[in-house]
Amino acid sequence: MNHGQQIAGQQFGGQQIGGQQIGAQQLGGPQIGGQIINPTFHADRAPHQHVEAYQQAPDLQPPHRQDADAYWADKSAEVMRDQFGIKPKVNTNSYRTPYPPAYDLISLPNRYKVPDFTKFSGQDDTSTMEHVNRFIIQCGEAGNRDELRVRLFSSSLSGSAFTWFISLPPNLVITWADLEK
């Protein structure tokens, strides 16, 4: 006679008389060859159904890390539409920077104060070369990093020059050289 608490076989309590279990709880249900056939905690589903569902799950990783925000916004809209029949508002005026979103996460130099840049609209007699050189000088220490120059550049634009900048496709400008083209 055996009185319960078999850990490997997951038997707790009860007695075993003549090879038969009496009064024990066997966690996970009956087993064949060490595999659970029908778990008691999911009596309506066999374990292989969970594995199959997991294997058929769509890949939820965005194609590019820099497009993660847009990807998850699209996924959320898709779930709202498919699951609940809700169509999100289409915001045609949403603004996405022409540079990678990661540039906005780069810290400015310690104790750096963003200058009040001289504005360029493209409407006066200031040349683009003059404006770019003035901008780099005004950037000071932040002008040493391509990413910060690209990020701060829009602060030096106004009017039609700013409209041009915000109309550039997302992630078109990766380096300062891309912006100078």
The answer to whether residue 117 is domain-embedded is yes
**pLDDT tens across 57-70, in order?**
455 554 555 467 67
pTM of the model: 0.50
Question: What pLDDT is recorded for position 172?
Answer: 92
Average pLDDT on 73-80 reads 78
Q: How many CB atoms lie within 10 A of CB 153?
A: 22
Is 67 in the same domain as 84?
yes
Of the candidates 54, 50, 24, the residue with the CA atom closest to the CA atom of residue 36: 50
The answer to whether residue 157 is domain-embedded is yes
Is the per-residue pLDDT at 156 higher than 70?
yes
Question: What pLDDT is recorded for position 75?
Answer: 80
Is 176 in the same domain as 129?
yes
Cα-flanking dihedrals φ and ψ of residue 141, to 5°? -60, -35
The answer to whether residue 3 is domain-embedded is no
Number of domains in the chain: 3
Is the per-residue pLDDT at 81 higher than 50?
yes
Question: What pLDDT is recorded for position 77?
Answer: 77
pLDDT band at 164 (very low <50, low <70, confident <90, very high): very high
**pLDDT tens across 99-140, in order?**
999 999 999 999 999 999 999 999 999 999 999 999 999 999
Return the higher-pLDDT residue of 162 and 62.
Answer: 162
Q: 28-58: b or e for each residue (b if 16 or more CB lie within 10 Å)? A: eeeeeeeebeeeeeeeeeeeeeeeeeeeeee
Is 138 in the same domain as 174?
yes
Q: 98-116: b or e for each residue (b if 16 or more CB lie within 10 Å)? A: bbbbebeeeeeeeeeeeee
